[in-house]
Amino acid sequence: MSLFNVYPLFDVTPVKAKDVYVYDDNNIEYLDLYGGHAVISIGHAHPQYVKAITNQVKQLGFYSNSIQNPIQLALANKLKQLSGCHDYNLFLCNSGAEANENALKLASFHTGKSRVLAFKNGFHGRTSAAVAATDNPNIIAPLNAQQNVDFVDLGDLETTEKILKKKEVCAVIIECIQGVGGLDESTTHFYQQLQLLCNTYNALLIVDEVQSGFGRTGDFFAYQKHNITPDIISIAKGMGNGFPIGGILIANHIQAKFGLLGTTFGGNHLACAASLAVLTVIENEQLLEHVRQMSNYFIEQAQSISQLKTVKGRGLMLGLEFDFPIQSLRQHLIYKHQIFTGSSKNPNLLRILPPLTVKKVHIDTFFNALKHELNDA
């Protein structure tokens, strides 16, 4: 049987990995500044993570959500401690799209309304409502297009209010820093006013932290820089360091009811053990502070690249914008220099999403390769 051919693939076959390095089937070492699309948070095969998963699978890998599972509670408590999100409850699922799907569904249940307001260039996943709230017509099937979603320019409060005034909107969904869209972020004034508008017009504010959460920006959540209090926060990617897990943090004022949300695999023992290990390592290795330091260093080094237009993003969710398409540069970085980087909707933006454990020496390696490719040495 062939594989359903939906992914354009690089000709690299990773078979093992350690911290920021990935090794292919010929034992060639690659520097991973992409983190498998912002997924690797504490580094590949972190010993504490491997141990936690190994021990858990030996004990109990899975049982359904019909029994007591103390690891879910331990995860919720650790998440509360590290994120500072005290007035929330946790619902666990399996991916970023599923997190947003549940967030949107919950907003609709809670408000009794059905329209969604989303932002241009936003990405929220590929399931029903999540993909309908994603600004990319190519991935929205006619089935998904039945959802009622309005797309507004990031930062446009006037249009946002006009749409919210119609009173049919159950949720406003937003990435505080857009990932796939190309690392745009609006002002603190905008995010604060957006929250006020949501409160005024009884719409829930869903902040999608699937990519930007779990320390990637140097804050636990990217929205925290703007001093807002979302009604729902979606999480996934860095949460499991590669183990599939997602979830939503749900503000206390939103009532739970048996059967309102549910999943077979979400919150299973193994996934919770993986995520708990991730949080423990983030805490023990003080990775948030480390991310801030490495980010500053990266941005400093970027100043020496004369062809660079701007550095976008925060923490280790960064983009280097040039005034030419980066596609072939990215290929040269992989095939000639063995460095993984990322792309985005903006063809001129090279995305940098390394494991949060990346060190100065790795950043130096990257800039040397970049200068070599740009004849900027």
Closest separation between CB of residue 238 and ligand PLP, Å? 11
* Residue 50, C-beta contacts closer than 8 angstroms, at least 6 positions apart: none
DSSP 345: S
- By beta-carbon proximity to ligand PLP, the closer residue of 236 and 316 is 236
Closest separation between CB of residue 38 and ligand PLP, Å? 7
- By beta-carbon proximity to ligand PLP, the closer residue of 76 and 236 is 236
- By beta-carbon proximity to ligand PLP, the closer residue of 163 and 207 is 207
For residues 196 and 219, give the distance between their C-alpha atoms in angstroms, rounded to a whole number. 23
Closest separation between CB of residue 123 and ligand PLP, Å? 5
DSSP 177: B
For residues 211 and 305, give the distance between their C-alpha atoms in angstroms, rounded to a whole number. 27
- By beta-carbon proximity to ligand PLP, the closer residue of 140 and 308 is 140
CB contact at 8 A, 173 and 116: yes
- By beta-carbon proximity to ligand PLP, the closer residue of 97 and 118 is 97
| Residue type, position 81, single letter | Q
Closest separation between CB of residue 91 and ligand PLP, Å? 15
3-state class of 59 per DSSP?
helix
| Residue type, position 300, single letter | E
The helix (run of H) or strand (run of E) holding residue 20 is: none
Closest separation between CB of residue 184 and ligand PLP, Å? 13
Binding site for ligand PLP (CB under 6 A): 37, 95-97, 100, 123-125, 175, 179-180, 208, 210-211, 236
For residues 313 and 370, give the distance between their C-alpha atoms in angstroms, rounded to a whole number. 19
DSSP 44: B
C-beta nearest to ligand PLP: residue: 96
